[in-house]
Amino acid sequence: MKFGVSSYVWVSPFSMQTIDQLQKAHNFGFDVYEIGVEDPSSFSPELIYAEAQRIGIQVNICGAFGQSRDISSDNEVWRNEGCAYIRTLIDYAVITHSPYVAGPMYSATGKARLLSVSEKKKQMQYVITNIRELCEYAYKKNIKLAIEPLNRYETDCINTVEQGLELIEKVGADNLGFLLDVYHMNIEEKKISEAILMAKDKIFDFHACANDRGIPGNDHLDWKGIAEALRRIRYDGPVVIESFTTAITEIARAVSLWRPVASSQDELACRGLAFLKETFK
């Protein structure tokens, strides 16, 4: 099993000006650096891959989905922009040798409304149609798509593994699976370990943090149960620490992070990695 860290732990947005983060993550002992690609034009995937190869760290690709990248929107322009953005991420994944593109790509983060049955059906049809086309594009390039269920305050679309499996079945693509994040699962799943067992081999990426987005292990989560469930399904993908920093006010506001969840971001990464390596050994 490999252990990773999200670029959001230290920087936002990631760019060529923050390329030194790859070396920093490697020095901490991480195997994977997962880039939250907020602005694809802010860095060269070719140069990032070359630097990652020089350092000896793997780079994986995760998306950031705002209003104008919403493939479930009634706004055709936003749907098209969302699809174009995801295709760009797939191309970046090919270049960086990331096995997947991950994230809540089915909708815009923060879009949470009480829809009628007909409105919900229309929204989901946009999602199914667009993700099916994107899976076909990704399949030709040997890339997987990992959808991330978010909690009820961040999306009205996919909150649970069960809902995600229904979408995966309707899309009907072998390269469509999950990014599961314990922060969201702690809110939405009855039991995190049981949800992992339900997802089985459809888990392509796994995000780890405390229930308050802080240091993994400094929380009330059943990490032994989580680790055992991942072992039972023979999960061999990365376990990635994803958290955010209050120093970047825009992203802190977006994820409702109003207070520091560790004494420093370095402590969060260092102590979190040590805990995960001990727990998942």
Q: What is the 3-state secondary structure (H, E, C) of the chain?
A: CEEEEEHHHCCCCCCHHHCHHHHHHHHHCCCEEEEEECCHHHCCHHHHHHHHHHHCCEEEEEECCCHHHCCCCCCHHHHHHHHHHHHHHHHHHHHHCCCEEEECCCCCCCECCCCCHHHHHHHHHHHHHHHHHHHHHHHCCCCEEEECCCCCCCECCCCCHHHHHHHHHHHCCCCEEEEEEHHHHHHHCCCHHHHHHHHHHHEEEEEECCCCCCCCCCCCCCHHHHHHHHHHCCCCCEEEECCCCCCCHHHHHHCCCCCCCCCCHHHHHHHHHHHHHHHCC
Which pLDDT score is estimated for 138? 98
Average pLDDT of the residues in 115-119: 90
Residues 227-266 pLDDT 10s? 999 999 999 999 999 998 877 666 767 788 778 888 999 9
Q: What is the CATH architecture assignment of 2-279?
A: Alpha-Beta Barrel (3.20)
pLDDT of residue 31: 98
pTM of the entire structure?
A: 0.96
